[in-house]
Amino acid sequence: MSAHLIDSEIYGHLWGTDEVRELFEERAKVQSWLEILTVLAEAQAHLGIIPTRAAEAIRAYADVDNLDLTQVATLTRETGHSTLGLIRALQEALPEGAREWVYYGATVQDLTDTWTSLVLTQVTSVLRRDVARAVAAGRRLATRHADTVMSGRTHGQVGLPITFGFKAAVWSDELSRHQTRLEQVLPRVARAQLGGGLGTMEFWGDQAIPLLTEFSDRLGLGAPGIPWLTARDGMAEFVSVLGMVTATFGKIGQEVYQLQRPELGEVSEGGVAAVGSITMPHKINPEISEHLVTLARVVRPHSGMALEAMLHEHERDGRAWKTEWLFLPETCILSAAAVSMGSRLLEGLQVDEARMLQNLADRKGYVLSEPVMRELSTVLGKHAAHDVVYRSARRGLERGVSFEEQLRSDPAIRALVPDAALRAALDVTRALGAAPEFARRAGRRGTHE
Amino acid sequence: MSAHLIDSEIYGHLWGTDEVRELFEERAKVQSWLEILTVLAEAQAHLGIIPTRAAEAIRAYADVDNLDLTQVATLTRETGHSTLGLIRALQEALPEGAREWVYYGATVQDLTDTWTSLVLTQVTSVLRRDVARAVAAGRRLATRHADTVMSGRTHGQVGLPITFGFKAAVWSDELSRHQTRLEQVLPRVARAQLGGGLGTMEFWGDQAIPLLTEFSDRLGLGAPGIPWLTARDGMAEFVSVLGMVTATFGKIGQEVYQLQRPELGEVSEGGVAAVGSITMPHKINPEISEHLVTLARVVRPHSGMALEAMLHEHERDGRAWKTEWLFLPETCILSAAAVSMGSRLLEGLQVDEARMLQNLADRKGYVLSEPVMRELSTVLGKHAAHDVVYRSARRGLERGVSFEEQLRSDPAIRALVPDAALRAALDVTRALGAAPEFARRAGRRGTHE
Amino acid sequence: MSAHLIDSEIYGHLWGTDEVRELFEERAKVQSWLEILTVLAEAQAHLGIIPTRAAEAIRAYADVDNLDLTQVATLTRETGHSTLGLIRALQEALPEGAREWVYYGATVQDLTDTWTSLVLTQVTSVLRRDVARAVAAGRRLATRHADTVMSGRTHGQVGLPITFGFKAAVWSDELSRHQTRLEQVLPRVARAQLGGGLGTMEFWGDQAIPLLTEFSDRLGLGAPGIPWLTARDGMAEFVSVLGMVTATFGKIGQEVYQLQRPELGEVSEGGVAAVGSITMPHKINPEISEHLVTLARVVRPHSGMALEAMLHEHERDGRAWKTEWLFLPETCILSAAAVSMGSRLLEGLQVDEARMLQNLADRKGYVLSEPVMRELSTVLGKHAAHDVVYRSARRGLERGVSFEEQLRSDPAIRALVPDAALRAALDVTRALGAAPEFARRAGRRGTHE
Amino acid sequence: MSAHLIDSEIYGHLWGTDEVRELFEERAKVQSWLEILTVLAEAQAHLGIIPTRAAEAIRAYADVDNLDLTQVATLTRETGHSTLGLIRALQEALPEGAREWVYYGATVQDLTDTWTSLVLTQVTSVLRRDVARAVAAGRRLATRHADTVMSGRTHGQVGLPITFGFKAAVWSDELSRHQTRLEQVLPRVARAQLGGGLGTMEFWGDQAIPLLTEFSDRLGLGAPGIPWLTARDGMAEFVSVLGMVTATFGKIGQEVYQLQRPELGEVSEGGVAAVGSITMPHKINPEISEHLVTLARVVRPHSGMALEAMLHEHERDGRAWKTEWLFLPETCILSAAAVSMGSRLLEGLQVDEARMLQNLADRKGYVLSEPVMRELSTVLGKHAAHDVVYRSARRGLERGVSFEEQLRSDPAIRALVPDAALRAALDVTRALGAAPEFARRAGRRGTHE
């Protein structure tokens, strides 16, 4: 049984996806570490640093199923060393001729940093796949609802009408920039680590740099120009990109949460929950949307931790480096949950076009003060028109009449704006500006630019 | 197998203590939830809200061993509700006459917030016990080393001598203020929650407020003046206090880490590690000290999350509240590790008095420029004396001679300071100011003020 | 002209109050520093450390009007020292016999830390005054609106009715705890600093501790048990308390922002803005409410910085300490703006009782599912009742009829609930639970407990 | 007089550069805003939206020298609107025929966001110039000191020797990645904003999109695919990149701070400070190095604020957007200080090669345990060799003899390692691994990859 929510049997599905959580599970991690040690041995055998037979034996026996993890744990506590427990248990599992050739000259950070690079590469693939789904869903919404009129809101107040497709287009536009970011950050993260104790690769003498290349190539990782034991900028950037990705899904969730209020009722999460509130059976809560905000909040602070972890002292600094052990898996697992839920939310989003129109209508036309002002501007000038319309709108709101009724009863306006122009200015479908065009353009974009 | 370090079989001992981790483990949490539901039923029976027999049956059967947690997990995912899975599984475990009377009118937040209060109360006890150990250890160091002369350092440079007891006294003084803080925050945290869906306790009619009192009393928690479903200041304050406590231990760890450098070698962690570095067998790393800094860094950002979680919207806001689910256990478990390790570090700290004296001696007397300046001040005035001593010190350092040799060769000084006064000014044991007295005073304090 | 918003002529009123900003303005700060140096001289004269005449001259001449701040700035840059520029300029302003006796044995941190304690004490007074105003306003709202029925909302959805007084009571309850916190933190902040270079007070020999007491007493500050040059827990706690205070006002602002949406329209900021939106003349934005959230967001991260600043290395650590120079004034000034605006918001809040009732009515009775369920519970048991009511509510919502109509047409319910009971259950004023009582109790509280 | 350190006459030089601070000064900002309004008018005139004469008049009169900023401030407070005060004052400054055509259809965010893009573009240029200087300085150090032997340190303990050039190469490598990041983020930041009230550009009818292109082109900014009023990912990414840049300089500062300790004395800041400590005249503090850490700490939290600001609600959200007003200028100004000081630090860094060798020698050869172990590995196998060397090293340290003496007296080793091999293994210049080669490679890189 576990104490952290990420590992919770009951609630874990809200705080991660199985796919990404499994990458970080202890057993899978140890297996991946063993694979790295095997590849290291093979690269070393290839360069004649260790016997080929030793490498073959390591390939054959270095398997988590051959280890007793409880023994590894006990040895780790006893030695007070991060990998010595594992190495000793592994040596027992290996045939005699291989025992001395495993983990040959490497240090714990070579192992864990290389693993981190590999696992972040896998996480990046998962995230790119799901962000692409979200972008596609956003573009479909942009196209389908390019002309779906709804209230635009600033400062929580209704301003002019917009279209729902316009809103979705802003989302897909932002999400597509994250595709670029994930692509750009990858080569700065997917780099092998092989420095030995101090990063100088001293143990391997003249074969140091060839070994670095061979090891990196075999793992499908980049070979760094110099070991990055103390250069953690790649990690910080990665965490920051994931912070941005989850923030965008948090924004989308927040929007749905607000628009799903019964007083607005413009969109709602697709899936009808099987059960509502326990005490209030009539309620349907925006569970996913709300949780996307939660996830954005708990991922966000990791970017600060990652920036702090960049301040390594000397050639290795456990104070800084060990913080990554905690926040990197957490960031990845939580972000995977956000991206997965967020793309499903977009794919299943319900849009209530009638309610959108009704909400606009409930504002009695006042949201069209700008088109009226623009009409008047041609006669009075813009700022003068603003003052006239502003005063009239305030008066109408006080009187409780519709904007049209107010405007028709205001001699200052009646005198200046012809009836037809007024009618046109008070038509919500003519007050959408470039919203439909922006939406359609976003919808058409086939790939991210 | 688990994915989070806190739950790691291999590394978990570095990121928590068993004692506190167990409080948060899923099984223990569910058991504690069941106990709260039982107490609720008993309080309700006491007030005649539910039948006494129902309460008795709940007491008898509401046990985690009667539940299938995998079924709870499945039902939780199916219903999309935080506690309904548990309730349904619990109802199956109860005899028929009790099924309808369990969780009677309460909501998920009543359950989880009350549990949080209970568990934070327990965590507070643990932390107070261990902080008290650390305060005691710090005071012993203050007393024992009240006169142990060592280099004082500012900006990483050696200034005047201090004593090691003085340094330890600053630690124990700071730690004792945390004792006060833990005491003051407790009543703002140890409060029951019982509000029902909206905090109005509607379900219980006229018996609402008596029930709140009865329920709180039976749990040994305070009865809040009004439900705090959306008033999370207590949580934020608690997290902030734990952030301060771990910061102090981080500071102590940082100090030991620096003073244990081989070039300084003034203190060291007590326990000789069983094994040094794998690649560099001669090294002994300051494992605990370093890790105390790491723990301070990973706990710290939680204070920001907790402040953000205070901004609840309306009468319940899952976006904010659910973040607590993640950071509260993490804060408690990591802080417990820090306080436990930190008090052990203080208890076992090795002090090398000879090396401390040697390091001071290696500075060739220049660290005594202030006493010399003070001597000269009586003749020249302080600022004028500063300029004279400053110039002389710079010259001596350039020439590579000792401060004494330089001063004796500087006619400007020789003329003004008698030999005996100069000798006295250059005696490190006479340049300690009130350090020994401050140390002794701190050591004498029996309890925190 | 200035570059920071806090100093902006155009926008500064939104990011601080004149009262608190003035405490931190450079000229005022220098004047306060000079006052501290004067008190130090007087305390030293009292103890015979410096001549009484010198202290008198310092009292007479140490005035910012006697200094050329541009010269101070130039000297500061030239010397690369935080206070030497000031001291040299001050010495020029002093008569000859006093020049050598000013800043006698003190260091920059003695000066700046003592100033910080003084200024935080003043800031605390201002905040306590304004928080008290807010508490009083909140209690008035709680009393006045103890029975003002409105929608309670969880997860953005309407749940049961509450009363507006209940909501205001939660606010005042939370704010009153901040009064306690401000009171408790003060003695841990209002402490003089006088340590000299290393905190040992070496320069003053046997008179060190008497001088510490004398100096502290004269300033009205506590005398610390030991200098706190490297014990910054008081600062961290202070920043954390201000983070909590601004978070509460942020929460209140957020609530008003949401309730002021035109689709809800339940409360609004009192003052009618002179001008609405430039492009949309009909809009009235919740300017203050919105800004309270902004202020909470920009103050919040300071708590993390303050916790980090606790990790001082050795006897002075500029890396940590200098961060306080930046974040302490910013925290104070921004918090003062929040507390001032927030208390004004509460004092002027407009409540639209009719709209509150209308919004509830718009939900067609479904928000009363809990009272109906409770009624049914007496016959069926609670959880069985939940399932029946849940199904009926979902059906009614699909059919688009009122809850009453649905319930009356549902044979499962009609058979079990008598007409009178159903009518009672569907009366919002009978579904308020203890909300009015909680509100009245909060309103009655005369002082904070 | 100002209250914020960034604006401090006395201390401002430590918290910003004049060059970047001036970009954000209120007067300069208003001038830049007027220029944007002018370009908007010219673009609108070009498209026939407003009269050419009006645009010409705006070009002629829209100058900050024609405005009374105190009046702007007063009007801003009176109207409670961010730009209306400015617009009214500007209208007064304009000739009658232009008054109605200024700020035609734009909103405050069009103005401020576009200004932000312009100013961040300028800041990026400054930072790229100074980071390039730092990269060049780092590469020179890497080349010059490719073979300068010094202690490598992990966990604060001395491990194997490295070279100082290797350390500098890690710095320049990391800094060069920031050059790439600054280049990649720029197009996501340097985008004009022109959306009108809701982002739909409604006011400009059919000419909306042509106007967006024209306006962007004239300003030398990209034309966004859709207005980014609520898509703040570019800002968040920018702040995050600056956080990384300052973190790297913080790391370099931290390293110099530690290596400048008198007990290490391996490097020092170039410039001899004019004055040392006031109370301790012999001290030279690492002022710049220390301050680089401070700056990294105060910039870092801004990345969290920027991520939070991404969660905009609806079509404009002052709660989120206004936080940028505070943190963007602060981030830029503080970062500019860091980059400027950091590149100067690297350019002037003093390296004490003799001390570096001496410090290694002081470790009595034990730092060469790895080469000895490697030698022994060929006979015993690596892990067996580790155990033998580990035991011998511990014994030698206890006996207080040199590593060579210990090894020669250890029969287990003497029997296995020939004298010549032992001598070679104990030669620090042969234990550098690939450090010199890594350093030289980094030094050779002409541009960033």
Inter-chain touch D305–C308, beta carbons under 8 Å: no
d(CA A295, CA A341): 10
Cα–Cα distance, A263 to D186 (Å, whole number) = 41
The H or E element that residue D163 is part of is strand D157-163
Assess whether pLDDT exceeds 80 at residue A449: no
Taken as a whole, chain C contains a residue count of: 449
- Residue D50: exposed, middle, or buried by beta-carbon count in 10 A (0-12, 13-18, 19+)? buried
- Residues in chain A, how many? 449
Substitution target from C150, C280, C395 for chain A, most A beta carbons within 10 A: C280
- Shortest CA distance from A156: residue in chain C: C261
Interchain CB contact of D87 with A (< 8 Å) = yes
Distance CA A313, CA A240 (A): 22
pLDDT of residue C277: 65
- Closest by alpha carbon to D422, among D449, D382, D387, D389? D389
Point out the residue among B77, B278, B305 whose CB comes nearest to the CB of A297: B305
Q: Mean pLDDT: which of C174-183, C383-392, C410-419 is highest?
A: C174-183
Say yes or no for a CB contact (<8 Å) between D304 and A300.
Answer: yes
Which H, E and C letters describe chain A, residue by residue? CCCCHHHCCCCHHHCCCHHHHHHHCHHHHHHHHHHHHHHHHHHHHHCCCCCHHHHHHHHHHCCHHHCCHHHHHHHHHHHCCCCHHHHHHHHHHCCHHHHCCCCCCCCHHHHHHHHHHHHHHHHHHHHHHHHHHHHHHHHHHHHHCCCCEEEEEECCEEEEEEEHHHHHHHHHHHHHHHHHHHHHHHHHHCECCCCCCCCCCHHHHHHHHHHHHHHHHHHCCECCCCCCCCCCHHHHHHHHHHHHHHHHHHHHHHHHHHHCCCCCCCEECCCCCCCCCCCCCCCCCCHHHHHHHHHHHHHCHHHHHHHHHCCCCCCECHHHHHHHHHHHHHHHHHHHHHHHHHHHHHHHCEECHHHHHHHHHHCCCHHHHHHHHHHHHHHHCHHHHHHHHHHHHHHHHHHCCCHHHHHHHCHHHHCCCCHHHHHHHCCHHHCCCCHHHHHHHHHHCCCCC
Selected residue with higher pLDDT from B331 and A370? B331
Option in A160, A234, A243 nearest D198 (CB): A160
Count of beta carbons in the 10 Å neighbourhood of residue D429? 11
Shortest CA gap D97–chain B (Å): 49
Q: Of A158, A426, B316, nearest to C265 (Cα)?
A: A158
Residue B283 has a pLDDT of 74
Determine contact: B282 vs chain C, CB below 8 A: no
Among the partner residues C279, C287, C370, nearest to A280 by beta-carbon distance: C370
pLDDT-derived band at D448, boundaries 50, 70, 90: very low
pLDDT of D447 over the 50 cut: no
User: Side chain identity at D227, as an amino acid letter?
Assistant: P
C-alpha gyration radius of chain C: 30
Average pLDDT for residues A185-205, to the nearest whole number? Answer: 96
Please give the pLDDT value at position C271: 65
Is D308 at the interface with chain A, CB within 8 A?
yes
* Mean pLDDT, all residues of chain A: 94
Q: Is residue D20 classed as helix, strand or coil in its secondary structure?
A: helix
D2/C2 Cβ within 8 A: yes
Per the DSSP assignment, residues forming a β-bridge with C162 are C150
Query: Do the beta carbons of residue B228 and residue B321 sit within 8 Å?
Result: no
| Position B290 confidence tier, pLDDT thresholds 50, 70, 90 | very high
Whether the CB of D154 is below 8 Å from some CB of chain C: the reply is no
Model confidence over A394-405: pLDDT tens digits? Answer: 899 889 999 999
Chain D residue whose CA is closest to C318: D290
A290 touches chain D (CB under 8 A): no
C-beta pairs of B183-189 under 8 Å, 24+ apart in sequence: B183/B128, B184/C184, B185/B124, B185/B234, B185/B237, B185/B238, B185/B241, B186/B121, B186/B124, B187/B222, B188/B233, B188/B234, B188/B237, B188/B238, B188/C177, B188/C180, B189/B117, B189/B120, B189/B121, B189/B124, B189/B234, B189/B235, B189/B237, B189/B238
B387 touches chain C (CB under 8 A): no
Long-range contacts of D388-395 (CB under 8 A, 24+ apart): D388/D412, D388/D413, D389/B281, D389/D413, D390/B275, D390/B276, D390/B281, D390/B282, D393/B276, D393/B281, D393/B282, D393/D366, D393/D369, D394/B282
Q: Looking at residue B285, what is its pLDDT? A: 87
Rounded distance, CA D55 to CA D59, Å? Answer: 6
Q: Report, as an integer, the average pLDDT of C27-44.
A: 98
**Reported confidence tier of residue A206, pLDDT bands at 50, 70, 90:** very high
Q: Which amino acid is at C131?
A: V
Task: Chain B: give the shortest CA distance to residue D344, in Å.
Answer: 20
> Does residue A179 belong to the interface with chain D, where contact is any CB pair within 8 Å?
no
How many degrees, rounded to 5, is the angle at CA A354 between CA A350 and CA A355?
A: 75
- Per CB-CB distance under 8 Å, the chain C contacts of B196 are 370, 433
Out of D1, D103, D277, closest to residue C25 by CB = D1
Test D157 with B285 for CB contact under 8 angstroms.
yes
Partner D contacted by A383 (CB < 8 A):
yes
Dump pLDDT digits (tens) for A68-82.
999 999 999 998 889
Let me know if D71 is exposed, middle or buried by CB neighbors in 10 A (0-12, 13-18, 19+): middle
The pLDDT mean for chain D works out to 94
Rounded CA-CA distance A9/B223 in Å is 32
User: What mean pLDDT do residues A137-154 have?
Assistant: 98
- D448 a catalytic residue: no
Q: Please report the pLDDT score of residue A277 as a whole number.
A: 65
Is the pLDDT reported for residue D385 higher than 60? yes
- How much is the average pLDDT of D135-147? 98
Contacts 24+ apart (CB under 8 A), C34-38: C34/C62, C34/C63, C34/C64, C34/C90, C35/C62, C36/C111, C36/C114, C36/C115, C36/C118, C36/C219, C37/C62, C37/C90, C37/C102, C37/C103, C37/C106, C37/C111, C38/C62
pLDDT of A95 higher than 70: yes
Q: Is C104 on the interface with B (CB under 8 A)?
A: yes
First to last CA, chain D: 46
pLDDT of residue C45: 98
Chain A residues in contact with D300 by the CB 8 A cut-off are 304, 307-308
Strands D267-268 and A157-163: unpaired
The tokens describing A285, both together, are 């809560």
| Contact across the interface for A362 and C263, Cβ inside 8 Å | yes
What lies within 8 Å, CB to CB, of B221 at 6+ separation is B114, B117, B118, B121, B190, B191, B192
Residue D345 to residue D333: CA distance in whole angstroms: 18
Whether B193 shows a pLDDT value over 50: the answer reads yes
Q: What is the mean pLDDT of chain B?
A: 94
Token pair for residue C146? 């103890």
pLDDT in tens, D193-224: 999 999 999 999 999 999 999 999 999 999 99
CA A371 to chain centre: 39
Q: How confident is the model at residue B276 (pLDDT cuts 50, 70, 90)?
A: low
- Nearest to residue C231, comparing CAs of D250, D257, B166? B166
At residue C262, what are phi and psi to the nearest 5 degrees? -60, -30
Helices C26-46, C52-61: axis angle to 10 degrees equals: 160
> In a 3-state reduction of DSSP, which class is residue D220?
coil
Cβ <8 Å between A157 and C261: yes
- Neighboring chain C residues of B230 at a CB cutoff of 8 Å: 170, 251
Question: How confident is the model over C201-233, as pLDDT tens digits?
Answer: 999 999 999 999 999 999 999 999 999 999 999
Q: What is the pLDDT at residue B447?
A: 47
Subunits next to D (3 or more Cβ pairs <8 Å) are A, B, C
Torsions phi, psi for A160 (to 5 deg): -85, 165
Using CA atoms, how far apart are residues B17 and C139, in angstroms rounded to an integer?
44
Q: How far is D137 from chain A (nearest CA, A)?
A: 18
The answer to whether A70 contacts B9, with C-beta atoms less than 8 Å apart, is yes
> What percentage of chain A exceeds 70 in pLDDT?
96
| pLDDT tens digits along A288-347 | 999 999 999 999 999 999 999 999 999 999 999 999 999 999 999 999 999 999 999 999
Q: What is the pLDDT of residue B445?
A: 83
Query: In D, which residues are within 8 Å of A87 by CB distance?
Result: 383
Instruction: Give residue B156's pLDDT band: very low, low, confident or very high (50, 70, 90).
Output: very high
C301 to B300: CB separation less than 8 angstroms, yes or no? no
pLDDT at D248 > cutoff 50: yes
- Cα C164 to chain centroid, rounded: 23
Residue A125 in this model has a pLDDT that exceeds 60: yes
HSE-CB at A443 with a 13 A cutoff on CA atoms is 19
Question: How high is the pLDDT of residue B448?
Answer: 44
Chain C hits for D25, Cβ within 8 Å: 1-3
User: Where does the pLDDT of residue A279 fall: very low under 50, low under 70, confident under 90, or very high at 90 and above?
Assistant: low
Nearest to B282 among D264, D304, D367 (CB): D367
The set of catalytic residues of A is 155, 277
pLDDT at C447: 47
Contact D279 C203 (CB under 8 A): yes
Q: Which of A380, A445, A381, A441 is closest to A416 using CA atoms?
A: A380
Find, among A326, A5, A323, A333, the residue nearest to B329 by Cα: A5
User: Is the Cβ of C100 closer than 8 Å to some Cβ of chain A?
Assistant: no
Q: Is B326 on the interface with A (CB under 8 A)?
A: yes
Predicted confidence (pLDDT) at residue C273 exceeds the cutoff of 90: no
| pLDDT value, residue A276 | 58
Element (DSSP H or E) covering residue D154: strand D149-154
D46 and chain B in contact, CB less than 8 A = no
